Structure formats: structure tokens, C-alpha cells
Chain A
Amino acid sequence: MDQVLVQTLHGLVNGMVLAMVASGLTLIFGIMDIVNFAHGDLLMLGAFVGASVLGMTGNYWLALLAASIAIAALGAILQITTLRPLIGRDPLTTILATFGLSLVMQKYALWQWGPSVRRISEPVPGDFTLFHIQYPWYRIATAVLAGLILAGLWLFLKYGKYGIWIRATTQDRVMAQAMGIPVPLVYTAVFAIGSAMAAASGVLFGPFAGVTQTMGFDFTLRAFIVVVVGGMGNLGGSILASIFVSLLESYAAIVVSPAQAVIVSFVVLVLTMLFRPTGLFVPTPK
């Protein structure tokens, strides 16, 4: 019983971080119909920038902010230079382009920061006792912060002028343009927001496992799974799916080793594709 509670908490915390990664990916997919295979690498670069700023200033929150802003700017530049010219082409070209970007960013990180693991120290020290184990406060703080960021994103999309532009463009690009919404700019902004979300997740997740130049792919894959499970382009669905999949993995880790528990998410992916290809958390399309 104790173990179940601990794993529930663990799953929720991991789910919130994953939800942050996935929300950026799903936002970009929803509006531009492209799967950004470089998403995890934006997260990785964000984590490295965060680690560097932390090393220079010693201020974790400043590092979080700086990484988000820097990677948002990078995302905007990448969108304008590599993805904007591909709009209207075969989606495969875009996928290949983001795959190429992913490799470039990984090699850049290797060149710039080397192959060794960087540590990001925890900004919130201390543990608390949960039954028989010591649980770090930082993990709780991460989940809360991720929740707040996601809530902020949701409020922005729901009530903000630019949030309405983004939702209108997601639903009908042509009509949005006819209403005077500058769609190319909206695309770039969404890519920048998605990149910033990835970078922030990287800095938040950094203290858990360290920062390496190969950490990105795993996140891309996991985020991709929950985006498919939650329904492509559906923000709420992705968040629910992140928590759902992370909880399942946590519970599975009680029975099998954590490395094997990852298989659960692939099983969920395959079952979703087989029986509910539009996503688990969307109403059945009529």
C-alpha cells in the first residue's frame, strides 16, 4: 500500500514534467500539422543553457528564465529559416527537416559542452519522509511549477488576444488570414512558445537525472507517445495522457524493473492506435 502511494506521487510528478514537454509538441502539431522531431533537443539545449547560467550566476530561477527565453528565440529563428520555407510541401520534408535539426543540435551540444553529464543542483533543498523513503521536496516543487506554467498557458490560450489568434489559426488557417490574423507570425510565435516550454522542462527536469546531449530523443519519443494517446493537437488530452501514462509506468515499476516499465507506454500507444486512433481523451468524432 505504501508503495502504491509513493508510486502515485512519483507518477504524478513525472506526468507533470512530461505534460509540459508534450504541450509544446501538441501545440506545434495542432497549428502546423508537423511533428517536430527536434522538440526533445530543444529541451536538451535548454537544460544546457540553464546549467551554464546556473554555473555562472548560481541562481536557478534566473537560469530557468534565461534558458526559456534563449530557446524561444532559437525556436523562432529555426522556424523562420528552416520550416517556414517548407510550408505547403509534403509533410515528410518537414519531418526530415526537424530530424536534421535534431542531429545538428545534438552535435552542437557535444561540441560546446562535451560528452560528460552536467549536474543541475536542486533549487529547493531537503526531503520529507513519506512512509519508509525520503522524498525530495524539489520533485513536488517541480510538479507544482509545471502545473502553474501549464495553467498559465491555458489561460493565455483561452483569454488572451494572441491565444484566440492561435486557436483560430489552428482551426481554420485560411479564414484566420481573411480576418486579418498574421498567420506566418502566429506560426513562428507558437514554435517559440513550444520551444520555451521544452527548455523550461529541461531545466526543471535537469536535477532529476543530469543533462546530456543525448537526453532529447527519449523526451521526443515519450512526448510523441502521449500526444498520440491524448489526441494529436489536443492540449487537454495531451496533459491527461501524460499523467495517465506516467502513472501506469509508475505502477508497473512496482512489479517489474523501472527500465521494463517503460514498455507500458508503448503498449498504450499501440492499443490506442488500434482501437482509438483519434486519441483517448477526445470525444469520438461524428
Chain B
Amino acid sequence: MLVLEQVDAHYGKSHVLHGVSIEVRAGEVVGLLGRNGVGKTTTLKAIMGMARRSAGRITFEGRDLQGVPPHGLAGLGIAWVPEERRIFRLLTVLENLRTGLDRSGITPPRREALLEKVYAYFPILRERRNQPGGTLSGGEQQMLAIARAMMLEPKIILLDEPTEGLMPRMVAQIQEIVHALHRDGVAILLVEQNVPLTLDAAERVYIMEKGAVRHHASSAELRADQRVIHEYLGV
């Protein structure tokens, strides 16, 4: 469904990605592991059209994303949950969700159903719905970022380090929502540093180093043979 072929990307003046090839099939959860600064986030930004691409092709459901404007990706079914969460801090929780809900072709009952769905997953967001997003705790902001992406009814979510800096209880909740999205048939490209969580959630894992994919295996293989993990991640 989402295919990156030999992608080279630049961030500012630095050449960050070197021939990255990744594929995510419909409904599949794929992990992207690697240490800090190896280009995981840039890979997601390249998909979102935010990093300058000098070579390679990115296609979604067979369509080249080259000519698609940045605001056109949501309509195709690609949602982004950035590492920094990027909550609209002065907008209330509900208004944050509305940025994804106020689109054409969505009926009022469908809107209600979507809101009810995320409120069921994250009851705290219902409680805080009239509170500015900036006043939420880090974990709550992460939930809001994921909930906001879900408002787009995406086919794939690009999830960037969702558990970074969260306490264990929150991590468990995020893990649960990843499973729930997977059950609903939403594909996920999961960027993480948390190896156990990634191996648990993803079917396949790509491991990156220095801006390139070094290893690609199923989670089962990696669980059975931890040497690769040691080699590239040092854990």
C-alpha cells in the first residue's frame, strides 16, 4: 500500500536518507527501529512531503506522492502523529479533534461515532474536551495526537515514537490503542526506540542505521535471534 523505493532525502543542507526502501501493506503494522538520529523521523517526514527528496519514489496505493500537496495526504488516507505531538496548544481538545473532523463528505452521525470511539479509548479526552490542548500532560497530549489522527479515518498512521517519555501506565495504554487500530484494519508505520513494544506490536521490522535500512525481518525472527538487535541498537 505504502511503498518507498530507494528514497534519498535531505533535511536543510544535510543528506539524511540514503536509498531507503520500505513497504507497508494494507492493515499491517510495521516497525522502524534504530538509534537516535539514524533517519527514522526523516523517513516519515519524507512521506509527508516535509523533507526534500532528491531521488527515489514514494507511492501510496499505486499513486506517486510527488505531486500531492501537503494538505492532500490526509484526504488520501495518510495520518501523521509526530514525535513532538504538535498539539494545537491554544485550541481546546475538541477543537483539536475538529481539525480532522471538519472535512467534506462526513455525515453528522459519522462525526459523533468517531468522537465516541476515541472517547471510549481515551475517556480522559472527553473529560478535558473544553480545555486548551496546551494544558494537557505529556501522556494526554500523546493520546490527543493519536485521537486527532484517528479523526481522519486514515488507512495508515505514521506513528513517531508514541511512547517516548511516557510513564509505564501510559505506555500500556498506547500499546493497547495500537492493537485496537490494527484490529480495525488500519496500517501503522511505527517508529520506536522501545524494542519489546515494537516486536510485540509489529509483524515486520526494519532496522535503520546512518540513514539507510540495514536489516529487515519478521518480529518473530528478531525475537528468536536477538543478536541483530544488539548489533544495531546496542540493547
Contact = CB atoms under 8 A, between A and B. Distances in A.
Interface in B69-107: 69-75, 79-80, 82, 86, 88-91, 95, 98-100, 102-103
A167 interface: yes
Given A167-B90, A168-B88, A172-B88, A179 B100 contact: yes
Contact of A179 (B50, B69, B90, B99): B99
How many chain B residues sit at the interface, stated as a range, is 20 to 34
A177 B73 CA distance: 9
B99 A164 contact: yes
A165 B102 contact: yes
B91 A178 contact: no
Interface in A176-227: 176-184
Nearest to B78: A178
A161 interface: yes
A172 B71 CA distance: 13
Given A172-B86, A175-B88, A183-B71, A165 B99 contact: yes
B48 interface: yes
B71 A171 contact: no
A178 B78 CA distance: 9
Contacts of B75: 180
A157 B40 CA distance: 37
Interface in A120-179: 161, 164-165, 167-168, 171-172, 174-179
A183 B89 CA distance: 18
A180 B80 contact: no
A231 B194 CA distance: 42
Interface of A: 161, 164-165, 167-168, 171-172, 174-184
Interface of B: 48, 50, 69-75, 79-80, 82, 86, 88-91, 95, 98-100, 102-103, 148, 152
Given A175-B82, A178-B82, 20 more contacts: A164-B91, A164-B95, A164-B98, A165-B99, A165-B102, A167-B88, A167-B90, A167-B95, A168-B88, A168-B91, A168-B99, A172-B86, A175-B88, A177-B70, A178-B73, A179-B99, A179-B148, A179-B152, A180-B71, A182-B71
